[in-house]
Amino acid sequence: MKRFVEKIYQPRKELIKLSIPLTMLLTSVHIEASYSKLAKVANMHPKTLEQIVHKLVKIESTTGKYDVKNSSSGAYGRYQIMPSTAKFYAKKLNIPITQWKKPHNQDKIFNAIMKDNILSLKKNGHKISAFSLYATHQQGAGGFNTIIKNRPLTKKLEKNLRQNLPEKLRKTRRSKLRATWINYWKRKLG
């Protein structure tokens, strides 16, 4: 009986071994297709956008894993999406709110956020680059526009800028905070 079970079980094991690379391939194809669509919106080459996203992921979750949680901000996942943002986009994309943390749903939400950020950057006359895309992801499209157009910083935006700087730069005087934040992230994103 044991041999019979092993003979039945063995092909299933092989199928599972084969299905993992197949799943990874299909996910990779899906992500590349979404880069192509986003790249068209951004008027850039898909590989350039892919490189920008990889930089963003490395900054946000360092490991690129989908289950990373920031205990201080509450941001979650590969792209460190805030729960309130996830809720908004889950509703917009018809994703059940309880399902937004699933990897494929995080990818969908992130792509929708990126598309909205790209459109906002274009509408406001900003150059689309690694810096501007990451900065809109970090500060929101409105926050980024306020920062770049040198509009008065709200207390919340000032706090966000300080929190998104290394410890040694957080105590920068308010009058130099905007320039410090811009210079830091432009250098970091090269």
Long-range contacts of 87-96 (CB under 8 A, 24+ apart): 89/113
Tokens of 14: 């092989």
CB of 82 within 8 A of CB of 68? no
Q: What is the reported pTM?
A: 0.79
Neighbours of 142 (CB within 10 A): 13
CB of 103 within 8 A of CB of 66? yes
Set out the domains of the chain in order of their start, with CATH numbers. 2-151 (1.10.530)
User: What are the phi and psi torsion angles at 131 (to 5°)?
Assistant: -60, -50
Tokens of 105: 């749903």
Q: What is the pLDDT of residue 32?
A: 54
Above pLDDT 70, what percent of the chain? 82
Q: What is the pLDDT of residue 81?
A: 95
Q: What is the pLDDT of residue 7?
A: 55
Residue 99 has what DSSP assignment?
A: G
Tokens of 22: 């197949």
Torsion of CA 84, 37, 128, 137, to 10 degrees: 10
Contacts of 33 (CB under 8 A, 6+ apart): none
Return per-residue pLDDT of the chain as tens, 190 residues.
555 555 555 555 554 555 445 444 444 444 456 678 889 988 999 999 999 999 999 999 888 999 999 988 899 999 999 999 999 999 999 999 999 999 999 999 999 999 999 999 999 999 999 999 999 999 999 999 999 999 999 999 999 999 999 999 999 999 999 999 999 999 999 8
Instruction: Determine the straight-line distance between the first and last CA of the chain, rounded to whole angstroms.
Output: 63
